[in-house]
Amino acid sequence: MEITQIIPHIEALVFAADRPLSIPEITELLNQALGFLEDRVLPQQVQTAVEAIQEKYASSFYAFSIRETGGGYQFLTKKDYHKTVAQLNGDKFLKRLSTAALETLAIIAYKQPVTRADIEYIRGVNSDYSIQRLLEKELILITGRNEDLPGKPLLYSVSRSFMDYFGINSSGDMPGIREIFPDELVQPTLVSGQDHETSPLLVGQSGQLSIREEDSDKETGGDQELF
């Protein structure tokens, strides 16, 4: 099967889908729809076709492109048009989240998989309501239990919906904190008036959040902010 023959079918599938489609999914859908018997479409052909589509829409003539996000491919508007599209619904979703929920979401995104106790240790306050809100909005999900801790607490991670919304393919694609904020702003979180020398929350060289080992068993007080 020629690549040029399947390209328009792939474009139609990705455009019509309400979620990102992976290469195996696209391959299966093509073979089912076109009824190939001896000349079946192969995943390698689909991958080549997707790359050709990406090159096609890379032109500044198009306001959108096909991108790998959330474990598959999806048509997304280019960042130059974010403010334009946001007037429809882009910012409304997160605006309905409280500051506490956004803080909780950020902690889960950068520390996943993480327990509720870990989240509350970093924030310094009860986070039950924020976690429940994020579960209801399907931005996070329960991915198992920590078998090494007493009571085997639940573990939370961001969901595929989270990755879809932010246009990333995996949690590894998220920028490090040092990529977002200037170095002078990336300081350990203050805890109950303590200075950064004794604060349990640190930012490592990779820009990821971590907690001092010597403070890992201590309780903190007061409301803290992630950044």
Is the pLDDT higher at 210 or at 73? 73
**What residues make up the domain containing 35?**
3-88
**Lowest mean pLDDT segment, chosen from 18-22, 121-125, 220-224:** 220-224
pLDDT per position as a tens digit, 198-220: 444 444 545 455 544 444 444 44
88 pLDDT tier (thresholds 50, 70, 90): confident
Residue 105 lies in a domain: yes
Residues 36 and 100 in one domain: no
What is the average pLDDT across 49-65?
93
Residue 38 lies in a domain: yes
Distances (CA, A) of 46 to 17, 34, 73, 140: 16, 14, 12, 31
* Buried-state track 112-139, b at ≥16 Cβ within 10 A, e below 16: ebbbbebbbbbbbbebeebbebbeebeb
Whether the model pTM is above 0.85: no
Q: Residue 21's pLDDT is what?
A: 92
For residue 26, pLDDT beyond 80? yes
Residue 192 lies in a domain: no
Task: State the total domains in the chain.
Answer: 2
Q: Residue 92's pLDDT is what?
A: 55
